[in-house]
Chain A
Amino acid sequence: MSVSNQQVTPPVSSPGASALSGVGSAGPDRTAPAGAGEAVRLTEVSKAYRTGRTELLALDQVSFTVRDGEFVCIIGASGCGKSTLLNLIAGLDSPTSGQIDTGGRRVGLMFQEPALFPWLTAGRNVELALQARGVPRTARRAQVAELLETVRLGGFGDKRPHELSGGMRQRVAMARALAQNADVLLMDEPFGALDAMTRDLLHDELERICAERTLTVLFVTHNVREAARLGDRVIVLSSRPGRVIEEYALPRTGQRRIDSPEVSEVAARMTDRLRQEMGRHGS
């Protein structure tokens, strides 16, 4: 695995990029296309929160692009605004300034918690996403079965979330995200609450599913090894406010493992960079 990293300069805004400021409604409602082959383009996106008289800048002029089919990880220490960033891209919140463009692609979001509806079975949870998308009832059953099979949970459709293990619940959540027919999957530390063994297996599964479906993934994590294991590219954010401080390109040269030396080596470099960043806040 060859690795290159560089200080990042914000990409130039494409003429077709749409301004998202002021869009209050949830849901990926994008009209203008991103540049060719670009699934997500952020141009100088800032987000500030006002609490009383003080204004907290969560994200400061964040710019990057994610190409179609690319797997990009975002890492950063606490307070780097990782989750805020995903909320903005998902359209659940709007930036204070800057532009986010997904070129009309459908965006799905997965959280650290599976966030399954506890009153529905695993199958119904997945089906509801299809229903919300307007898939007719007759077609839904087959699609639910296929999606559950994709996450290796065929035969568990009748189980309720509490009857499944944490890893299985997270896979149902993945099936539900896939049911949204998303082109871009935003994942907010989806395996953060799982044990290392389960996480390792789910990395393989996620990689397989992404390859099968040519998904574009933006994967937020605070685990540098996970980022080095999964990403085609890793973006490092600074803390308070979140700014892009470094990017690592990790071209794929075969199957990676979380414990392989290349992954460890890249992870160690990222850790050093993050420590340096944290040290900045300690002085």
Chain B
Amino acid sequence: MAADQALRGLDNLELQPAAGAQDPGHFARKVWAVLWPKALAVVFILVVWEAVTLSGWKHLVLKGPGPVFSALWDEMLHGSPSLWGIIGVTLETAVAGYAAALVIGSVVGLLVARIPVLRAAVGSIITGLQTMPSIVWVPFGIILFGESESTILFVVILGAAPSIAAGLISGVDYTPPLLLRAGKTMGLHGFALYRYLVLPASLPAYVAGMKQGWAFAWRSLMAGEIVVQIVGQFSIGQSISVDQQNLDFAGASAMLIVILVIGLAVDTIFTKADTSLRRRRGLLETAT
């Protein structure tokens, strides 16, 4: 059993040492390390903004951070229609549009990745669609569906689906050939090969595509909402549009902050998903 013991000893030596007792201040320090650069950046922006306002440039319309945040606060507490309702309308469209884009993008991506003829036919079109500015779809949407929610969904889907499809296609393409050989040797083929090997291997690229798809969806949604006026449905984009007509800088800026915060919040979710995926696969450097 000498060899056995030597082997176990070697295993123990080669494995990472077990983590020691967690330092009680560890979490707080980690949060602080993440937060302070962001906080500093925000303070810097606010200072520059205030300085520009105080300089008197465009003094008739330009408002400083104070009035803008108080406008945002007012909207939150007693806006009419309420800010939460406005956000609700926009998020509902975002979720519906993104979900449809996810289904369409995934199905198209998988078919294009699997069927060579289809790839030859539409592979480059998908790349082309990704580079298309979403605003150009708005007139088409209005011609096809009129000024309705369908138009906005149409724009959101065309904005997001190509990125999702492209992510999945590149994931399938970059499945390591060695893993494919290993899978085939094990007897995986056809559907099982995709279910247990190709799709899990594609997941990081797919999630990256989903993340990019969300960014495009959000931009397309804002473009759609600003241009397409739906009676009785007051959305974020429509709200900015009204602020523009009223030359209400504070109100428009408050909405910009809302757009930024929602966009960042959802992006953070995708980043978290991506990070945890990479950590589980050992693709992340361990924290310093």
Contact = CB atoms under 8 A, between A and B. Distances in A.
Interface of A: 25-27, 87, 90, 92, 108-109, 111, 113, 115-120, 128-129, 131-133, 152-153, 156, 160-168, 176, 180, 197-198, 201-202, 204-205, 208
A133 B181 CA distance: 16
The 9 nearest A-B residue pairs measured at CB: A162-B282, A165-B14, A115-B182, A26-B184, A118-B281, A132-B187, A204-B3, A109-B185, A132-B186
Contact of B186 (A119, A128, A160): A128
A9 to B, nearest CB: 32
B184 A27 contact: yes
A156 B11 CA distance: 11
A129 B4 CA distance: 25
A176 B16 CA distance: 24
A26, A165, A167 — which one has the most chain B CB atoms within 10 A of its CB? A26
A133 B178 CA distance: 20
23 contacts: A27-B187, A92-B184, A92-B185, A109-B182, A111-B182, A113-B178, A117-B179, A117-B200, A118-B282, A118-B283, A129-B187, A131-B196, A132-B186, A132-B192, A152-B11, A162-B281, A162-B283, A163-B15, A165-B14, A176-B186, A180-B187, A204-B3, A208-B3
A208 B11 CA distance: 18
B282 A160 contact: yes
B217 interface: no
B59 interface: no
B283 to A, nearest CB: 8
B10 A201 contact: yes
SS class of chain B's interface: helix, strand, loop or mixed? helix
B8 interface: yes
B58 interface: no
A248 to B, nearest CB: 26
Interface residues of B, number: 30
Contacts of B7: 152, 201-202, 205
A48 B11 CA distance: 42
Interface in B82-131: none
A152 B185 contact: no
Given A165-B11, A167-B14, A201-B10, A129 B186 contact: yes
Interface string B23-44: 0000000000000000000000
A108 B181 CA distance: 11
Given A113-B178, A165-B11, A165-B15, A90 B6 contact: no
**Which of A87, A128, A202, A208 has the largest count of B CB atoms less than 10 A from its CB?**
A128
Contacts of A117: 179, 182, 196-197, 200-201
Contacts of B10: 165, 167, 197-198, 201
Contacts of B200: 117, 119-120
B181 A128 contact: no
Contacts of B203: 119
Nearest to B282: A162
Contact of B280 (A152, A160, A180): A160
Interface in B135-154: none
Nearest to A151: B7
Nearest to A162: B282
B10 to A, nearest CB: 6
Contacts of B272: none
A161 B16 CA distance: 13
B258 interface: no
Nearest to A133: B187
Given A111-B178, A162-B281, A152 B189 contact: no
Given A119-B200, A205-B3, A26 B189 contact: yes
Nearest to B14: A165
A132 B179 CA distance: 15
A162 B189 CA distance: 26
Contact of A163 (B179, B187, B282, B283): B282
A186 to B, nearest CB: 9
Contact of B185 (A108, A153, A163): A108
Given A165-B14, A168-B11, A176-B186, A128 B196 contact: yes
